[in-house]
């Protein structure tokens, strides 16, 4: 019998509540602007074209350049750090102060300055660096995302800057891709929850009135950027209609509803359409679909890329026409002013309607009003006494500790005894560059050791924790910091092996050197041969080996896992990563991180945890042995602790439910070990039968709790039944009647949906 169908009404409330006073000011300002001024507001240039470096390496803004850029062309936005090198708050005050002075004198409209403060204050020397987003995800603790956002906002304002190009919400679903670590892992819900929390941290709770301690967020890179078919950065993605709406759009939806003021666009194409030219994705899905009145900025030079790389336009003028008409509001040009001239011609020729220019300009002005920049375009370091304070350091250390994932620990190898003798080896043992990763003081993170000198590398932290005399350092393999990030020197291998003779345990710190974006492209996802050989040689000594993985993406290590006694993935934990690791290895802190991605084992099994049920099949009966095996090294959500937890009594308040119901799901979790610990409780669902091949499992909710030894807590999730819906092949949401399985820990329970609901609106 067919189940009854319920149809919902259209969604009407705006993603960001409309503020009439701000709207009036926007329209008033717009009404007095010339076309040149409007086009200027739609233009963003890089700081490098606004000044020069002197012989001492200090950057100075040139007045004559500002005369042209702001005086003549009325440019309304500047971005980036000079030479992509972090500046002190005092230097920022001078640089941005000069730009704001010129902007206010010329037009009475403030400039909006933007920086990639991507994991803390990337571009502010002396500021607080947090772990990268991949680590924040591994904490499974949204409070950490919010706090990181709050502290980053505060210290970014101390740098006279009101706008960050963060958070990154691409979904890190392909470990070959060099930007996996900038995201909150592979799962849509995780990116949505962490992204929304970080947006609230950056912006505060009222997107119409961003105070002086907060900044505007920019969600990026909208959307589908994280799954390039080739695995190489900025190359085409092929994504089903279902996955696009259900997974890739989900974090943008959640973060826009959390009030995000701006969005940056995916540099590449989805299903053959470069996103910068997609009216459907920019205007129909994002602006109109969400009733969202924020601002869309391009990524770096991406209007130009429409003709130079993507070949969907014959020349720059056509590229500009396509992008602006698709819904781009501001071009991160970033070097040339001919964009302004060409856009003006397009308007005069009727190729870009004036209504589009007015809409784009209004969106830029609205953001500036919301940020309070018209009242005062500047903020000053002197008003931010908590910049780089002990309180901020403590938060970054805490985030790093909660993020590290214990993947293997046999024979109670960890924690290490206090007096034990340790050989510290591997190219990641003594480098801040490795701990911080890209977007750290520079784009590629290559000067982190100079800027982060006062922080502890793993070596320094281990010496502090275990005593200098107890830690022997023989790296065996080192990175060549003057060459390509993949270049290594393995000439010390034998020395490291020899040094093992005198120690109780070996801690091998391996992984990757820092890189960022396209330079991080790989031709082989295996960890380097040198590093594999080093660990194998150390394992062959018979001494227990603890493998520490310090890497932006899961490089394949299956050859060395079986003989390793313990494995810890610290990913990119930031400036306090060394201290956090030492605390955990010594047992002064307990592990509570879990993998926010699937750690692959084989090169031909690069899958995510939410793979389709038919990707894993048992052998068939009969003559033909059809099967498919999914082998992973460690599953999404996996992570051990120094204590143990038991799950019991998973229950739901309704065994049968309708599409409009809210389910209350509870599970009891007991700390069965003898140490206090934190446990992230993950609730998964499986749709047993669906009209589209269902995902095996989907994360539906998560919550982190703290438990004393012997303590039991009941974790309760309140879940609207609509969370169990999926997007069909037609791109529309549907919740189908039938059975669902819920799972938390080793507990499962089945529930039944009694009616089918098809959504008539594009979003739930
Ligand atoms: C990156 C963005 C970044 C922008 C501005 C681009 O190359 O893809 O993530 O925000 O540069 O620095």
Does residue 220's CB lie within 6 angstroms of at least one atom of ligand 1? Answer: yes
Please tell me whether residue 233 adopts helix, strand or coil conformation: coil
Token pair 């403060």 is found at: 117
Arithmetic mean of pLDDT, 598-617: 94
Which atom of ligand 1 lies nearest, measured to the CA of 332? 5
Asked about 174 being catalytic, the answer comes back as: no
Packed helices 390-403 and 577-585: angle between N→C axes, nearest 10 degrees: 50
pLDDT at 8: 39
Instruction: Give the closest residue (by CA) to ligand 1 atom 7.
Output: 300
Mean per-residue pLDDT, 97-105: 98
Q: Report whether pLDDT(214) > 50.
A: yes
- Pick from 299, 331, 520 the residue to mutate for probing ligand 1's pocket: most ligand atoms within 8 Å of its CB: 299
Given a cut of 70, whether residue 547 has pLDDT beyond it is: yes
Q: Ligand 1 mean position to 587 CA, how many Å? A: 39
- Determine phi and psi for 736, rounding to 5 degrees: -95, 145
* Residue from 264, 335, 441 whose mutation best tests the ligand 1 pocket (most atoms within 8 A of CB): 264
What average pLDDT does the chain have?
96
- Quote the pLDDT of residue 403: 98
Long-range contacts of range 306-309, CB-CB < 8 Å, 24 or more positions apart?
306/274, 306/276, 306/277, 309/234
Q: Is the CB of 299 under 6 A from ligand 1?
A: yes
CA distance 150 to 684: 30
- Percentage of the chain modeled with pLDDT above 90: 95
Ligand 1 atom nearest to 234, measured from its CA: 8
At 493 the pLDDT is 97
Residue 488, ligand 1, Cβ within 6 A: no
Give, for 600, the enclosing helix (H) or strand (E).
Answer: strand 599-600
Q: Does pLDDT of 625 surpass 90?
A: no
Residue 519 CA to ligand 1 center (angstroms) comes to: 13
- Report yes or no: 270 and 278 within 8 Å, Cβ to Cβ: yes
| Residue burial 630-641, b: 16+ Cβ < 10 Å; e: rest | eebbbebbbbbb
Asked if 759 and 9 count as a contact pair (C-beta separation under 8 A), the reply is no
In the set 299, 302, 579, 695, the catalytic residue is 299
Residue 444 CA to ligand 1 centre (angstroms)? 12
Residue 121 CA to ligand 1 centre (angstroms): 15
The answer to whether the CB of 363 is under 6 A from ligand 1 is no
The model's confidence at residue 10, banded by pLDDT at 50, 70 and 90, is: very low
Distance CA 447, CA 460 (A): 18
Find out whether 697 and 615 touch, Cβ atoms under 8 Å. Answer: no
The 10s digit of each residue's pLDDT in 24-72 is: 999 999 999 999 999 999 999 999 999 999 998 899 999 999 999 999 9
- What does the alpha-carbon distance between residue 764 and residue 147 come to, in Å, rounded to a whole number? 29
Closest-CA residue, ligand 1 atom 11, reads: 300
**Overall residue count recorded for the chain in this entry:** 764
Q: Are 520 and 490 in contact (CB under 8 A)?
A: no
Please tell me if the CB atom of residue 165 comes closer than 6 angstroms to any atom of ligand 1: yes
Tell how far the Cα of 457 is from the centroid of ligand 1, in angstroms. 28
Q: Please list, in sequence order, all residues whose beta carbon lies within 8 angstroms of the beta carbon of residue 217, skipping any fewer than 6 positions away.
A: 149, 164, 166, 167, 198, 199, 202, 203, 255, 260, 261, 262
Is residue 508 within 8 Å of 546, Cβ to Cβ? Answer: yes
> For ligand 1, is residue 80 a contact (CB within 6 Å)?
yes
Nearest Cα residue to 422 out of 506, 497, 543? 506
Whose C-alpha lies nearest to ligand 1, atom 8?
Answer: 299
pLDDT tens string 155-186: 999 999 999 999 999 999 999 999 999 999 99
Q: Is residue 308 over pLDDT 70?
A: yes
Pocket test for ligand 1, best of 79, 165, 225 (most atoms within 8 A of CB): 165
CA of residue 547 to ligand 1 center, whole Å: 33
Each residue's pLDDT tens digit, 483-536: 899 999 999 999 999 999 999 999 999 999 999 999 999 999 999 999 999 999
Q: Mean pLDDT over residues 288-293, rounded?
A: 96
Query: What is the separation of C-alpha 193 from the centre of its chain, rounded to a whole number of angstroms?
Result: 12
């Amino acid at each position: 019998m067919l189940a009854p169908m319920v149809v919902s009404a259209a969604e009407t409330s705006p993603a960001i509540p409309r503020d009439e006073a701000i709207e009036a000011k926007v329209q008033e300002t717009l009404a007095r602007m010339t076309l040149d001024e409007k086009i200027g507001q739609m233009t963003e240039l890089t700081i490098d074209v606004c000044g020069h470096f002197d012989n001492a390496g200090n950057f100075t803004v040139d007045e004559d350049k500002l005369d042209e850029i702001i005086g003549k062309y009325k440019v309304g936005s500047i971005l980036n750090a000079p030479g992509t090198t972090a500046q002190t708050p005092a230097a920022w005050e001078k640089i941005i102060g000069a730009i704001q002075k010129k902007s206010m004198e010329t037009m009475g409209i403030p400039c909006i300055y933007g920086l990639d403060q991507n994991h803390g204050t990337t571009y502010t020397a002396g500021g607080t660096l947090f772990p990268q987003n991949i680590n924040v995800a591994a904490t499974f603790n949204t409070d950490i995302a919010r706090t990181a956002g709050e502290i980053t906002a505060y210290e970014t304002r101390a740098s006279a800057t009101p706008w960050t190009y963060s958070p990154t919400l691409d979904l890190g679903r392909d470990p070959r891709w060099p930007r996996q670590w900038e995201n909150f892992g592979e799962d849509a819900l995780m990116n949505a929850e962490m992204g929304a929390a970080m947006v609230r941290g950056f912006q505060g709770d009222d997107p119409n009135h961003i105070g002086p301690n907060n900044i505007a967020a920019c969600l990026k890179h909208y959307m589908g950027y994280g799954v390039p078919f080739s695995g190489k950065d900025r190359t085409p993605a092929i994504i089903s209609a279902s996955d696009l709406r259900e997974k890739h759009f989900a974090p943008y939806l959640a973060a826009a509803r959390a009030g995000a003021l701006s969005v940056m666009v995916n540099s590449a194409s989805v299903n053959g359409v470069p996103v910068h030219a997609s009216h459907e994705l920019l205007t129909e899905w994002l602006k109109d679909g969400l009733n969202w009145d924020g601002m869309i900025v391009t990524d770096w030079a991406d209007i130009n890329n429409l003709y130079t790389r993507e070949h969907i336009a014959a020349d720059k003028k056509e590229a500009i026409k396509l992008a602006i008409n698709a819904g781009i509001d501001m071009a991160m040009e970033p070097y040339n002013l001919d964009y302004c001239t060409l856009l003006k011609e397009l308007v005069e020729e009727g190729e870009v309607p004036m209504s589009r220019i007015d809409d784009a300009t209004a969106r830029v002005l609205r953001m500036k009003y919301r940020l309070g920049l018209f009242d005062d375009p500047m903020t000053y370091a002197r008003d931010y006494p908590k910049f780089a304070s002990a309180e901020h350091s403590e938060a970054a250390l805490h985030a790093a500790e909660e993020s590290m994932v214990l993947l293997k620990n046999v024979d109670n190898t960890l924690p290490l005894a206090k007096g034990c003798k340790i050989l510290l080896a591997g190219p990641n043992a003594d480098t801040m560059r490795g701990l911080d990763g890209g977007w750290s003081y520079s784009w590629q993170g290559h000067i982190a050791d100079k800027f982060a000198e006062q922080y502890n590398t793993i070596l320094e932290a281990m010496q502090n924790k275990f005593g200098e005399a107890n830690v022997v350092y023989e790296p065996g393999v080192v990175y060549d910091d003057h060459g390509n990030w993949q270049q290594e020197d393995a000439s010390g291998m034998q020395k490291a092996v020899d040094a093992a003779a005198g120690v109780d345990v070996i801690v091998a710190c391996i992984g990757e050197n820092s890189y960022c974006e396209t330079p991080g492209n790989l031709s082989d996802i295996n960890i380097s041969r040198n590093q594999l050989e080093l660990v194998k040689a150390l394992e062959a000594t018979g001494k227990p080996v603890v493998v520490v993985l310090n890497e932006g993406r899961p490089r394949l290590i299956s050859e060395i896992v079986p003989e390793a006694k313990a494995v810890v993935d610290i990913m990119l934990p930031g400036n306090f990563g060394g201290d956090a690791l030492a605390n955990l290895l010594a047992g002064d802190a307990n592990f509570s991180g879990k993998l926010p991605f699937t750690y692959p084992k084989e090169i031909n099994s690069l899958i995510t945890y939410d793979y389709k049920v038919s990707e894993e099949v048992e052998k068939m009966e009969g003559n033909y042995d059809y099967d498919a095996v999914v082998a992973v090294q460690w599953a999404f959500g996996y992570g051990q602790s120094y204590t143990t937890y038991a799950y019991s009594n998973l229950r739901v308040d309704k065994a049968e439910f309708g599409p409009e119901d809210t389910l209350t799901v509870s599970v009891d979790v007991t700390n069965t070990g003898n140490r206090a610990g934190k446990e992230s409780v993950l609730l998964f669902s499986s749709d047993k039968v669906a009209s589209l091949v269902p995902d095996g499992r989907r994360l539906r909710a998560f919550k982190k709790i703290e438990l004393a030894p012997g303590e039991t807590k009941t974790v309760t999730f309140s879940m609207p039944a609509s969370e169990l819906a999926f997007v069909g092949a037609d791109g529309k949401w549907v919740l189908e009647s039938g059975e669902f399985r819920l799972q938390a820990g080793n507990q499962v329970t089945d529930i039944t949906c009694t009616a089918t609901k098809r959504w008539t609106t594009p979003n739930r």
